[in-house]
Amino acid sequence: MDEGGSSVVATTLMRVAGLQKSYGGLCAVDDVTFDVLRGEVLALVGDNGAGKSTLVKALAGAQQPDSGSIEIEGQPVSLRTPRDAEAAGIGCLHQGLGLVDALDVPENVFLGRELQTKVFGLVPQLDHGRMRARTIELLDRFGIHLPKLNEPVMRLSGGQRQTVAISRLLLQDVRLVIMDEPMAALGVEEGRRVLDLVRSMREEGISVIVISHNLEHVFQLADRIAVMKNGKLIGVVETASTTRDAVVSMITFGQMR
Ligand SMILES: Nc1ncnc2c1ncn2[C@@H]1O[C@H](COP(=O)(O)OP(=O)(O)OP(=O)(O)O)[C@@H](O)[C@H]1O
Ligand SMILES: [Mg+2]
């Protein structure tokens, strides 16, 4: 590495500077500056209304900030739409997941970018075989097991649906996955599977920003923890060198101890 040492130096994937978003008189995101490192899991925590969702919406092209800048790999990017974010390698899992209940797993994974084949070299038709094969490949790569690939996803459990939505993101060449409360509605076992999936994304070098109110999950999963309060970023701390009490205190009192 640059410093001549043998340790791996974390490199910056995304740099967010001076991000600002107001709704009327309310400053939902107030001059927020932070980095996302390559291959890290960064937890974003804070009380209800702290500004977490508003912040990640700006990073996912789902909402325009009033001001501030975002760089990826040192290049300024303008994320006006989710398509822009997708092109920049950012995938976002919003709370609704965006699945179509009546479609099966491969159809949901490929939603909006379906693979086609041509019958007799002429008539375009959906290539279900190839979509299924690519889906299985993708699920294998991340160690995901889904028993009912060909059934409408409405028959899947909450955790399995979550997995389908994540697979959809992984199909793109994502460098950053943003998850807004992915474990909120899941049972213990299903939550654990999503935690495992986040870990396998990290192993593949994908960075993950995960919003969660569950500090137990946060401490199990995150490399660093970012705390917001009243639109402000109070601080970003290394999980290994902080405590639950310190994080709770940051959330509650809005200052580092
Ligand atoms: N579309 C909107 N119009 C007006 N105000 C909004 C809008 N979206 C969010 N807000 C306000 O901005 C502030 C931040 O909201 P945000 O949803 O980002 O918080 P959060 O940290 O994600 O909270 P939670 O943990 O409850 O999801 C809140 O005061 C909220 O009421
Ligand atoms: Mg929110």
Cα end-to-end distance, the chain, whole Å: 33
pLDDT at position 169 is 83
CATH classification at residue 40: 3.40.50.300
* Nearest ligand by distance to the CA of 46: 1
Question: Of 151, 172, 193, which residue constitutes the final position of a domain?
Answer: 172
Residue 45 CB less than 6 A away from ligand 1:
no
User: 257 and 142 in one domain?
Assistant: no
- Among the bound ligands, name the one nearest to the CA of residue 251: 1
Give the model confidence (pLDDT) of 69-103 as tens digits: 999 999 999 999 988 998 999 998 876 677 788 88
The ligand 1 atom nearest the CA atom of 57: 18
Instruction: Identify the band that residue 250 occupies on the pLDDT scale cut at 50, 70 and 90.
Output: very high
Residue 82 is assigned to a structural domain of this protein: yes
Judged against a pLDDT cut of 60, whether residue 165 lies above it is answered with yes
* Assigned domain for 128 exists: yes
Q: 151-155 long-range contacts, Cβ below 8 Å, gap at least 24?
A: 151/104, 151/105, 152/101, 152/102, 152/103, 152/104, 153/99, 153/100, 153/101, 153/103, 153/104, 153/105, 153/108, 154/101, 154/102
Q: What is the pLDDT of residue 121?
A: 77
Strand partners, 42: 209, 224
Buried b (16+ CB within 10 A) or exposed e, 117-136: eeeeeeeeeebbeebbebbe
CA of 50 to the centre of ligand 2 (A): 8
Q: Which of 19, 45, 52, 57 to mutate to test the pocket of ligand 1 (most atoms within 8 A of CB)?
A: 52
Whether 6 maps to a domain, the answer reads yes
Please count the structural domains in the chain.
2
Domain boundary among 124, 154, 172: 172
* Tokens (6 digits) for 227: 């705390």
Q: In this structure, are 2 and 79 located in the same domain?
A: yes
Q: What pLDDT is attached to residue 168?
A: 84
pLDDT digits (tens, 9 = 90+) for 200-235: 899 989 999 999 999 999 999 999 999 999 999 999
Q: Classify residue 12: in a domain, yes or no.
A: yes
* The pLDDT value given to residue 159: 79
Report yes or no on 33 lying in a domain. Answer: yes
Ligand 1 contact via 212 beta carbon (within 6 Å): no
Mean pLDDT, the chain, whole residue set? 88
Distance CA 54, CA 77 (A): 18
Is there a single domain that holds both residue 143 and residue 186? no
Q: Specify whether 192 is located in the same domain as 76.
A: yes
Which pLDDT belongs to residue 257? 66
Tell me: do 128 and 227 sit in the same domain. Answer: no
The answer on pLDDT for 1 being more than 50 is no
Q: Which of 53, 210, 228 to mutate for ligand 1's pocket (most ligand atoms within 8 Å of CB)?
A: 53
157 assigned to some structural domain? yes
With pLDDT > 70 as the criterion, what percentage of the chain qualifies?
A: 95
Same domain, 79 and 129: no
| Residue 94 counted as domain residue | no
- The reply to whether 44 and 58 lie within a common domain is yes
Q: What is the pLDDT of residues 11-52, one digit of tens each?
A: 999 999 999 999 999 999 999 999 999 999 999 999 999 999
| Domain shared by 107 and 154, yes or no | yes
Residues 166 and 178 in one domain: no
- CB neighbours of residue 90 within 10 Å: 29
- DSSP of 115-163, one letter per residue? -EEEETTTEEEE-HHHHHHHHHHHHHHTT---S-TTS-GGGS-HHHHHH
**Structural domain boundaries, residue 123:** 99-172
The residue from 172, 191, 214 where one domain ends is: 172
Are residue 79 and residue 114 in the same domain, yes or no?
no
Class of residue 82 by CB neighbours under 10 A (exposed 0-12, middle 13-18, buried 19+): middle
pLDDT > 90: percent of the chain = 53
114 and 79 inside one domain: no
Report pLDDT for 82.
87
Do residues 256 and 186 both lie within one domain?
yes
Q: Which atom of ligand 1 is nearest to the CA of 47?
A: 25
Specify the pairing of strand 26-37 against strand 12-23: antiparallel
Segment (H or E) for 211: strand 207-211
Indicate whether 47 belongs to any domain.
yes
pLDDT of residue 235: 96
